[in-house]
Amino acid sequence: MTPLGRFVLATLCGLVLAGLVHVAAVLAIPYLAAGDAMARSRATLANDTSVLVHAAETGGTAEQAEGWLPPQDPALAVGVCAYDLDDGPVRITAETGPLLETIALHGRNGAYYAITDQAAVRGTVELVIMTRRQFDEALATADEDERNRDVRIVAPSREGFVTVRVLAALPSQQAQANEAARSVSCTIDGPDE
Protein backbone atom coordinates (compact mmCIF):
# COMPACT_ATOMS: atom_id res chain seq x y z
CA MET A 1 0.00 0.00 0.00
CA THR A 2 1.33 3.42 -0.89
CA PRO A 3 1.84 6.13 1.71
CA LEU A 4 -1.04 8.11 0.23
CA GLY A 5 -3.33 5.05 0.46
CA ARG A 6 -2.39 4.52 4.14
CA PHE A 7 -3.06 8.20 4.85
CA VAL A 8 -6.50 8.06 3.21
CA LEU A 9 -7.37 4.82 5.07
CA ALA A 10 -6.25 6.27 8.43
CA THR A 11 -8.23 9.47 7.77
CA LEU A 12 -11.40 7.55 6.89
CA CYS A 13 -11.04 5.33 9.98
CA GLY A 14 -10.57 8.45 12.13
CA LEU A 15 -13.65 10.12 10.67
CA VAL A 16 -15.80 7.01 11.21
CA LEU A 17 -14.57 6.70 14.81
CA ALA A 18 -15.22 10.41 15.45
CA GLY A 19 -18.73 10.06 14.03
CA LEU A 20 -19.50 7.10 16.29
CA VAL A 21 -18.21 8.98 19.35
CA HIS A 22 -20.39 11.99 18.52
CA VAL A 23 -23.51 9.88 18.00
CA ALA A 24 -22.88 8.07 21.31
CA ALA A 25 -22.39 11.40 23.10
CA VAL A 26 -25.65 12.83 21.75
CA LEU A 27 -27.58 9.69 22.70
CA ALA A 28 -26.10 9.75 26.22
CA ILE A 29 -27.10 13.36 26.98
CA PRO A 30 -30.55 12.56 28.49
CA TYR A 31 -28.98 10.07 30.89
CA LEU A 32 -26.13 12.35 31.89
CA ALA A 33 -28.32 15.44 32.34
CA ALA A 34 -30.67 13.93 34.92
CA GLY A 35 -29.48 16.45 37.52
CA ASP A 36 -30.38 19.64 35.64
CA ALA A 37 -32.50 22.38 37.20
CA MET A 38 -35.67 21.17 35.50
CA ALA A 39 -35.30 17.63 36.84
CA ARG A 40 -34.37 18.80 40.34
CA SER A 41 -37.26 21.24 40.55
CA ARG A 42 -39.79 18.53 39.60
CA ALA A 43 -39.55 17.27 43.19
CA THR A 44 -41.54 20.38 44.20
CA LEU A 45 -44.54 19.61 41.93
CA ALA A 46 -46.72 18.40 44.81
CA ASN A 47 -46.05 21.49 46.96
CA ASP A 48 -48.42 24.45 47.09
CA THR A 49 -45.61 26.82 48.06
CA SER A 50 -42.07 27.34 46.88
CA VAL A 51 -39.24 25.30 48.39
CA LEU A 52 -36.18 27.10 49.74
CA VAL A 53 -33.15 25.87 47.77
CA HIS A 54 -30.64 28.52 48.86
CA ALA A 55 -30.85 30.35 52.18
CA ALA A 56 -29.60 33.89 52.73
CA GLU A 57 -26.39 33.90 54.78
CA THR A 58 -25.77 37.56 55.54
CA GLY A 59 -24.68 36.89 59.09
CA GLY A 60 -25.00 34.26 61.76
CA THR A 61 -25.99 30.70 61.03
CA ALA A 62 -27.57 29.95 57.69
CA GLU A 63 -30.91 28.20 57.52
CA GLN A 64 -30.84 24.70 56.04
CA ALA A 65 -31.86 24.59 52.37
CA GLU A 66 -31.76 21.98 49.61
CA GLY A 67 -28.54 23.41 48.18
CA TRP A 68 -28.44 21.96 44.65
CA LEU A 69 -27.88 25.32 42.99
CA PRO A 70 -24.40 26.52 42.06
CA PRO A 71 -22.94 29.04 44.53
CA GLN A 72 -25.22 32.08 44.88
CA ASP A 73 -24.87 35.51 46.40
CA PRO A 74 -24.92 34.97 50.18
CA ALA A 75 -27.47 37.78 50.58
CA LEU A 76 -30.00 36.00 48.35
CA ALA A 77 -32.66 33.55 49.40
CA VAL A 78 -33.86 31.41 46.48
CA GLY A 79 -37.10 29.44 46.32
CA VAL A 80 -38.29 27.12 43.55
CA CYS A 81 -41.59 25.56 42.56
CA ALA A 82 -42.26 23.42 39.49
CA TYR A 83 -45.40 23.41 37.39
CA ASP A 84 -47.10 21.14 34.87
CA LEU A 85 -49.80 22.83 32.78
CA ASP A 86 -51.49 19.51 31.93
CA ASP A 87 -53.36 19.90 35.24
CA GLY A 88 -54.54 23.43 34.38
CA PRO A 89 -53.21 26.98 34.62
CA VAL A 90 -50.86 27.66 37.51
CA ARG A 91 -51.32 30.71 39.75
CA ILE A 92 -48.20 32.19 41.35
CA THR A 93 -48.97 34.57 44.22
CA ALA A 94 -46.32 36.47 46.16
CA GLU A 95 -46.90 38.91 48.99
CA THR A 96 -44.29 41.64 48.73
CA GLY A 97 -42.61 43.50 51.54
CA PRO A 98 -39.66 45.82 52.08
CA LEU A 99 -37.13 43.42 50.49
CA LEU A 100 -36.32 43.27 46.78
CA GLU A 101 -38.05 40.24 45.31
CA THR A 102 -37.83 38.86 41.77
CA ILE A 103 -39.81 36.06 40.17
CA ALA A 104 -38.52 34.33 37.03
CA LEU A 105 -40.30 31.69 34.94
CA HIS A 106 -38.18 28.99 33.32
CA GLY A 107 -38.91 26.40 30.65
CA ARG A 108 -36.70 23.63 29.30
CA ASN A 109 -34.79 26.17 27.17
CA GLY A 110 -34.20 28.78 29.88
CA ALA A 111 -35.94 31.78 31.39
CA TYR A 112 -38.83 33.27 29.44
CA TYR A 113 -40.37 35.83 31.84
CA ALA A 114 -39.25 37.81 34.88
CA ILE A 115 -40.92 40.34 37.14
CA THR A 116 -39.96 42.25 40.29
CA ASP A 117 -41.91 43.31 43.35
CA GLN A 118 -42.27 46.78 41.79
CA ALA A 119 -45.12 45.38 39.69
CA ALA A 120 -47.14 44.48 42.79
CA VAL A 121 -50.72 45.69 43.07
CA ARG A 122 -51.67 46.35 46.71
CA GLY A 123 -48.65 44.39 47.92
CA THR A 124 -49.33 41.27 45.85
CA VAL A 125 -47.84 39.93 42.63
CA GLU A 126 -50.16 37.48 40.85
CA LEU A 127 -49.07 35.57 37.76
CA VAL A 128 -51.11 32.96 35.90
CA ILE A 129 -49.06 30.64 33.69
CA MET A 130 -51.03 28.90 30.96
CA THR A 131 -50.85 27.28 27.55
CA ARG A 132 -52.14 29.10 24.48
CA ARG A 133 -55.33 26.99 24.52
CA GLN A 134 -55.94 27.76 28.21
CA PHE A 135 -55.32 31.46 27.53
CA ASP A 136 -57.84 31.49 24.67
CA GLU A 137 -60.43 29.72 26.86
CA ALA A 138 -59.85 32.23 29.67
CA LEU A 139 -60.37 35.13 27.26
CA ALA A 140 -63.54 33.57 25.86
CA THR A 141 -65.10 33.04 29.30
CA ALA A 142 -63.88 36.28 30.90
CA ASP A 143 -66.40 38.88 32.00
CA GLU A 144 -65.61 42.15 30.21
CA ASP A 145 -66.64 44.24 33.22
CA GLU A 146 -64.48 42.33 35.70
CA ARG A 147 -60.97 43.62 36.36
CA ASN A 148 -58.10 41.18 36.78
CA ARG A 149 -55.10 41.93 38.95
CA ASP A 150 -53.15 38.97 37.64
CA VAL A 151 -50.64 38.89 34.81
CA ARG A 152 -51.42 36.11 32.34
CA ILE A 153 -48.42 34.51 30.69
CA VAL A 154 -48.44 31.98 27.87
CA ALA A 155 -45.70 29.43 28.56
CA PRO A 156 -43.58 28.10 25.70
CA SER A 157 -43.78 24.56 27.11
CA ARG A 158 -46.11 22.59 29.38
CA GLU A 159 -43.52 22.01 32.09
CA GLY A 160 -41.26 24.45 33.83
CA PHE A 161 -40.35 25.99 37.15
CA VAL A 162 -40.49 29.31 38.95
CA THR A 163 -37.56 30.81 40.84
CA VAL A 164 -38.10 33.39 43.55
CA ARG A 165 -35.10 35.45 44.66
CA VAL A 166 -35.27 37.71 47.70
CA LEU A 167 -32.41 40.01 48.68
CA ALA A 168 -31.52 40.45 52.36
CA ALA A 169 -29.52 43.69 52.39
CA LEU A 170 -28.81 43.47 56.13
CA PRO A 171 -28.05 40.53 58.43
CA SER A 172 -31.23 41.26 60.39
CA GLN A 173 -33.28 40.64 57.21
CA GLN A 174 -31.94 37.10 56.64
CA ALA A 175 -34.88 35.28 58.24
CA GLN A 176 -37.39 37.56 56.52
CA ALA A 177 -35.79 36.90 53.10
CA ASN A 178 -35.79 33.14 53.66
CA GLU A 179 -39.45 33.21 54.69
CA ALA A 180 -40.42 35.35 51.68
CA ALA A 181 -38.64 32.96 49.28
CA ARG A 182 -40.40 30.00 50.90
CA SER A 183 -43.91 31.48 51.07
CA VAL A 184 -44.71 32.08 47.39
CA SER A 185 -47.92 30.24 46.51
CA CYS A 186 -47.85 27.95 43.44
CA THR A 187 -51.32 26.47 42.95
CA ILE A 188 -53.36 25.07 40.09
CA ASP A 189 -56.20 27.36 39.05
CA GLY A 190 -59.40 25.34 39.16
CA PRO A 191 -62.38 25.84 36.85
CA ASP A 192 -64.37 27.50 39.64
CA GLU A 193 -61.94 30.37 40.08
Question: Which tens digit of pLDDT belongs to each residue from 89-127?
Answer: 999 998 888 899 999 999 888 899 999 988 888 888 889
Residue-wise pLDDT tens digits, 66-96? 556 666 778 888 888 888 898 889 999 988 8
Domain check: are 17 and 102 in the same one? no
- Is the pLDDT score of 61 beyond 70? no
Q: In b/e form, how buried is each residue of 116-137, taking b as 16+ CB within 10 angstroms?
A: ebeebeeeebbbbbbbeebbee
- Kindly state whether residues 41 and 28 are assigned to the same domain: no
**Choice between 63 and 50, residue whose per-residue pLDDT is larger:** 50
Q: Is residue 63 domain-shared with residue 8, that is, in the same domain?
A: no
Are residues 65 and 116 both part of a single domain?
yes
As a whole-number percent, the residues of the chain with pLDDT over 90 amount to 28
Confidence at 21, pLDDT banded by 50, 70, 90: very high
Confidence of residue 63 (pLDDT cuts 50, 70, 90): low
The answer to whether residues 55 and 25 belong to one domain is no
Phi then psi for 133, rounded to 5 degrees? Answer: -65, -45
Claim to verify: residue 129 and residue 100 sit in the same structural domain? yes
- Judged on CB neighbours under 10 Å (0-12, 13-18, 19+), 191 is exposed
Whether residue 88 sits in one domain with residue 139? yes
Counting the structural domains of the chain, the total is: 2
Q: Give the range of the structural domain holding residue 141, as residue numbers without chain letter.
A: 37-188
Answer yes or no: do 73 and 127 share one domain: yes
- Residue 53 and residue 115 in one domain: yes
What confidence tier does 192 reach under pLDDT thresholds 50, 70, 90?
very low
Confidence of residue 35 (pLDDT cuts 50, 70, 90): low
- Give per-residue pLDDT as tens, 156-178: 999 899 999 999 888 888 888 88
For residue 62, give the CATH number of its domain: 2.60.40
Chain-wide mean pLDDT for the chain?
Answer: 83
Domain-embedded: residue 193: no
Q: Does 72 reside within a domain?
A: yes
